[in-house]
Structure 1
């Protein structure tokens, strides 16, 4: 049995360019991966199956198997060389098998990776379980077929071994180009979601109603951020281009951001991805946890977690 934390993907900034000829958007994003996420377990089996539990399992109830990103990721790997091994008479009938169990801790459709992060974890686990020779770059390409943030969600699993414990990653192109970002001093992150799912497609439709003329702006981040203050100063020069459209569809995002700005010890706050989850950066674990408790008192989902160079996704 192997287990992996499908860590939340938090966009500290997200610059979005005009629609490209291929229909995708050019982006620039710096993301971090706090010690918070869904958990995926993989065990050997004659056929492929998936069970889902956890706080947000109900949100996925009734989802057709063909639409589940974890199973779609597994099917992609079954198509790789070595992925079509001998199987029993399971209901799927073809390809290597595995018994997968997903514990859904993160709210779906919330701008922090969610299903794409789960799919990324599935690819890493199944590559090892099945002994596939699929390389990291190929895995990145396959993950991009599942979502533009697929390669970014793979970053904490694939890049950490090369650069020590991964602190951050930068995504460019349409999301398919990912590299390690600056090394950061340890800090605490609070994630808050008002309990309202938002449609990424709908947000992009609003964004495209008045798009920029060119590609996404890029920022030259240094190799490290020595303090949380340095990180906040750098992020002040960036933005999330989807925040405006998201707030117009989900005004509660503005309430969450206002709440975070007022919390003692919060040095920076912003919406992640296409929303509706927002984040606050804290230097103190105690301050982050106190703010999380206050957010839950408003009926919002809120979790605090460590972020920085000591975070790993491996589960003992």
Structure 2
């Protein structure tokens, strides 16, 4: 199914979802400095909306929902959304420029690929705005040059990510899950977590073996068995993140006490994910966090990837 089918418009808004990693397997660091990954992505119902219009030059403006800290979001051409626009224009040999308006509902620096979602949404929105009709394969190739999570942000749903995460293969998922997303006010830079993973691997604290995708998790997703999904969740970066940030261990214990089906660190952290297979139980858990003054969001999963929400 093509992502692109709409006529040229004066303004286009595209919505992109946050991602989580149901499994994150990390291998030993390679000579190029990257780690081989095998992951299972799932798109969840927290969204950024990206609106694009033609502009005299490249520009970007970002606003956020309540509780979204925008301090770390660039407002210049280092913003990944602008870089996505430049990449698309270069791919087609175009001189067009655009203004990009981002409304963020995905926590920033929380391991949920909000920047990647913005890049993916910008690719689709500008393609529609300019009537380029870029093929899905070309969009995915451009996305892969922007970051490991950008191709999945285009596709959404549930998928295996390999290589550095940029090679994406959709997988069957019959689950209907609810996730409480619990961010942390103090960020945890991804490169630092990977470096500490390497340190722990050298010490023998963690094992950095060739990563594989667990069949048990794939089978549980395909069968729609939440209990089996919960039992098969894993994150190889969790040990490094918790070792760097003992305060996250304390938060994890607090979330475990909610009695959810599972609690999982999201990617490199510091965001935690609390899984439920029932919306009423999820709402009850969210209410406990509200009473305790803990910032959180409640989101369903899986959800679709980039899609147009407005054409003007």
Identify the TM-score tier after normalising by the shorter chain: 0.7 to 0.9
Correspondent of 2:87 among 76, 101, 105 = 76
Aligned residues of 2:61 and 2:75 also touching (Cα < 8 A): no
- Distance in 2 (alpha carbons) for counterparts of 1:275 and 1:281: 16
Correspondent of 2:229 among 216, 228, 231 = 231
State the partner residue of 1:116.
Answer: 116
Distance 1:52 1:133, change over 3 A: same
State the partner residue of 2:244.
Answer: 249
- Distance in 1 (alpha carbons) for counterparts of 2:238 and 2:290: 22
SS at match of 2:146: coil
The Cα of 1:112 is off from its aligned counterpart by: 0.6
The Cα of 1:229 is off from its aligned counterpart by: 1.9
Aligned residues of 1:31 and 1:170 also touching (Cα < 8 A): yes
Q: How does 1:274-289 map to 2 (within 5 A)?
A: 274-289=268-283
Distance 1:141 1:310, change over 3 A: closer
Correspondent of 2:169 among 171, 174, 179 = 179
Distance 1:38 1:252, change over 3 A: farther
State the partner residue of 2:261.
Answer: 267
In the alignment of these two chains, the number of paired residues is: 290
State the partner residue of 1:192.
Answer: 182
Normalised TM-score (structure 1): 0.83
Aligned residues of 1:13 and 1:272 also touching (Cα < 8 A): no
SS at match of 1:67: coil
**RMSD of aligned C-alpha atoms?**
2.4
State the partner residue of 1:88.
Answer: none
The Cα of 1:246 is off from its aligned counterpart by: 1.0
Correspondent of 1:291 among 280, 285, 291 = 285
State the partner residue of 1:147.
Answer: 147
Aligned residues of 2:70 and 2:108 also touching (Cα < 8 A): no
Aligned residues of 1:193 and 1:256 also touching (Cα < 8 A): no
State the partner residue of 2:6.
Answer: none
* Residue segments in structure 1 that go unaligned for 5+ positions in a row: 85-94, 157-165
The Cα of 1:296 is off from its aligned counterpart by: 4.1
The Cα of 1:64 is off from its aligned counterpart by: 5.4
State the partner residue of 2:71.
Answer: 59
SS at match of 1:33: strand
SS at match of 1:65: coil
The Cα of 1:228 is off from its aligned counterpart by: 1.4
* Residue segments in structure 2 that go unaligned for 5+ positions in a row: 1-10, 202-206
Distance 1:127 1:144, change over 3 A: same
Q: Which moved more, 1:216-225 or 1:116-125?
A: 216-225
The Cα of 1:263 is off from its aligned counterpart by: 1.4
- Distance in 1 (alpha carbons) for counterparts of 2:272 and 2:14: 24
